[in-house]
Amino acid sequence: MKFKKISIWKADWLYGLLVVLFFWFSANSDLMQSLERKAYDLGLRSTIKTPSDKVAVIAIDDRSITNLGRWPWPRSLQADMLDLLAASHAKVIGNAVLFFEPQIDPGMEYLTKISAMLDTPTLKSGPAALQAELDQIREVTGDGISALDNDKKLSTSIVNAGNVMLPMYFDLGDPLGKQDAPLPDYVLKNNLKNINIAGGSSHFLPVSGADVQFPIPALGGGAIGIGHVNTLIDVDGAVRTDPLLISYYDQFYPSMPLLLAAKSLNLDIKDIVIDPGKDIRLGNLKVITDDAGRMHTFFYKDRDGLPAFQVDSFYDVLSGKIPAEKYRDKIVLIGATAAGIGTSLVTPVSANMPSVLSLAHSVSSILKQDFMVIPEWSGKAQLGIFAVIALYVILLLPRLGAGLGAVITAGLFAGILGTHFYLMVSKSMWLPMMVSASMLLIGHLVLTTKHFFRTEKGKIRADAESAESNRMLGLAFQGQGQLDMAFDKFRKVEIDDSLMEVLYNLGLDFERKRQFNKAESVFKYMAEYNPEFRDLGQRLAQSKAMSETIILGGGAAKTNDSTIVLGTGGVAKPMLGRYEIDKELGKGAMGVVYLGKDPKIGRIVAIKTMALTQEFEPDELQDVLQRFFREAETAGRLNHPNIVTMYDAGEEHDLAYIAMEFLKGKDLAGYTKPDNLLPIPVVLSIVARVADALAYAHTLNVVHRDIKPANIMFDPATDTVKVTDFGIARITDSSKTKTGMVLGSPSYMSPEQLAGNKIEGTSDLFSLGVSLYQLVCGKLPFYGDSMAQLMFRIANEPPVDILSVRPDVPACVVAIINRALAKSIADRYQNGAEMAEEIRKCAASVQG
């Protein structure tokens, strides 16, 4: 016994496993983490929350610099601002400007030198009169130094306000040794000491600082608190988290937003309780943090064209344009927003957010508890989702078909995204799942691509193996006269010089059968390979010219064997709407039918026209025009292989027109003559397809009302059947149906149609029964010397026995005709599908 050897390297599960391993090892790469952050940003922007109205921002903006001078300003201006805010009883003031160095005015520096010179022993030992003058100089010099000492003015304002908080900044990194010198007391007093080590996380790894810059003593000593303003940049350069505390030589210092929130609640440093790696509590507020003590800040979107936080110009407040009373009981943040000063950050809601505004978002997130949370079970959930997707990609997806696999993959992907957005928007939870989602999509793409190439490779091999078979089958079909099937087989063989000979003979066979359009197709196919073959160019031009003379058979007036060419020589072809008119095809029920072309897409169409002003009186025109377009609207709803397709309708000058499918064939009226009848099996095949078309139309509540051989097109060469002229059809559920109007050809009408009653699809089946009768025997089942006699016989008398006209008609055909022509609607076929089924059963027995 032999077993088929299967290479493991071709197994689908191996490709799935490789995808899973790739994403497992790249889960923490910058690319994957950046993708997670993009999904986080999208979820955050989809969440609607309102920021705290307790937070206000005063900006050192371009307007302020224009009016107050270049930055940095004298610190006395900031002192004036603090005095204004203190007088208006602001709750707490966060001045985000860095004060790491003294501000020494050049004039004060010179005065200080002069003062030192005046205090030299030589000058102090001079005459009394000189000493009096020097004392006056010393007094003026001292006053000048005091007037120019901006740091002293700002320090005084900070102390007097009693609610000002200043920033410090850490150089992040692990300390390499011991601290150079102890921090000053005014910095040390901000050290967080209320840390619940027992209740914290064992994985607590806070952000660490290796060095620190803090405000100068003159200013920092009077501040109520000093908090750090460090930000953490994600892998994609954006800021999403706020380190609420930073470790510095076994000490923990809070962020400025955390201190501002605490002070606004009248809490001190000792009231800030830390559960390391879990949360930070401010009284009754609990801020959830990660293992590094970071809060996932909620960044508020601008809404209705207004910014999340109102930003006021420093100059407008200082000048009184904006009253300082506005800031009563507010947390006021002062910082730079002007271009070129301060720091701008990339955040989920802005690509250029000034750092002072980032502080505002952080403070509001703490006070309103709007921060995002990574739940404790996040790690297990991510691992579980990853495992489910991995099993799907490795084990299940390779066993699924393309359609079912696509549906399940799409469902899983939608479920992951839906869960992500639901948790963020409704629960303020972030569960990173984009690695699993990406693995799902890439895994599906890899396996689908593998299947595609494997299938294509198999097709190429199968085509190569079957080329000779197709060639032989094509020759066999050609020998049997089945030229269409022969051409189809030849096109599956790679073309070469030997096949060109075969195709040339096939084209000649099409010409012999006067199927010039098909001969043209063969010669065009050959010309793509070798346009110089024999007399191919001449044959192609000749077959093209001959194919253009094929006439579309209509149910109305007949035309000559040749048609009139409307455009000749260098004369441009006439246009009707956007269509080029090539020639007249004949007369239709409502006017002339032309052969046309849509130049935009190259589609050949038959264009049915009606000359309104020539055919109808002015008072009838509107009704006739409405009927014309109702024809187009009704027929345009029908899309069936056995119904002529309507493409377009329009009106130009005195002509209304409909562009429809161009048919190469003729109607069945010519086959109703006793000496030109089609074989009964062919007739049954045609009528069955017409019944299918009517069944489809009736499901759309469209009744033809004029079924007859002249409205059925048949192309024997391609065995194509098409029902035409839905021009008098009515939508049976329309309130505009005129039940009293008799429309159609009387010889083919049902009794209820002649009576002027509202009709249903069974009336069309009656007309189809009349057509079947006529196509089988060459006579009509009802006839009369006058219209009145004809209508009476249709309504009251049975049809002429068809066996009396043609005795060899099979019994099943007689039964079908008799049922279709029943006077009572209940005794007829109730739908076209039922009639088609009976006809096909009959045809099978006849052919058998």
Q: Element (H or E) spanning 666, and its range?
A: strand 666-667
- Compute the distance between CA of residue 590 and CA of residue 517 in angstroms, rounded to an integer: 28
**Residue-wise DSSP of 573-605:** PPEETTEEEEEEEEEETTEEEEEEEETTTTEEE
In sign, the C-alpha dihedral spanning 739, 740, 745, 746 is positive
> How many residues in the chain?
848
Q: Is-contact 355 231, C-beta < 8 A?
A: yes
Instruction: Read off the tokens for 225.
Output: 């608190």
| CA separation, residue 54 to residues 136, 268, 347 (Å) | 52, 19, 22
Rounded Cα–Cα distance for residues 136 and 150 (Å): 23
Which burial class, exposed, middle or buried, applies to 466 when counting CB atoms under 10 A from its CB (0-12, 13-18, 19+)? middle
CA distance 577 to 682: 39
From the list 528, 515, 451, 440, the residue with the least C-alpha distance to 484 is: 515
CB atoms within 10 A of CB 250: 8
Q: Which of 219, 142, 214 is nearest to 182 (CA)?
A: 214
The CA distance from 355 to 65, in Å, is: 18
Q: Taking a C-beta distance cutoff of 8 angstroms, is the pair 335, 359 a contact?
A: yes
d(CA 784, CA 127): 156
User: What is the bridge-based pairing of β-strands 331-336 and 55-60?
Assistant: parallel
377, 387 contact by CB (below 8 A)? no
Whole-angstrom Cα Rg for the chain: 46
| Calpha distance 405→430 (Å, rounded) | 29
**Are the C-beta atoms of residues 393 and 443 closer than 8 Å to each other?**
yes
User: Quick one: DSSP state of residue 165?
Assistant: E
Q: How far apart are CA 607 and CA 609, in angstroms?
A: 6
- Among residues 509, 706, 725, 764, the one annotated as catalytic is 706
Which of 769, 779, 784, 770 is CA-nearest to residue 805? 779
Specify which residues 624 forms β-bridges with.
none
Give the residue among 127, 37, 91 at the shortest CA–CA distance from 326.
91
Report whether 52 contacts 297 (CB < 8 A): no
Strand 344-347 vs strand 350-354: parallel, antiparallel, or unpaired? antiparallel
Residues 6+ apart with CB under 8 A from 316: 63, 64, 322
Number of other residues whose CB lies within 10 A of the CB of residue 329 = 11
Q: Is 582 a catalytic residue?
A: no
The count of other CB atoms within 10 Å of the CB of residue 386 is 18
Q: Residue type at 431?
A: L
At 183, phi and psi to the nearest 5? -70, 150
> Which residues are tagged catalytic?
706
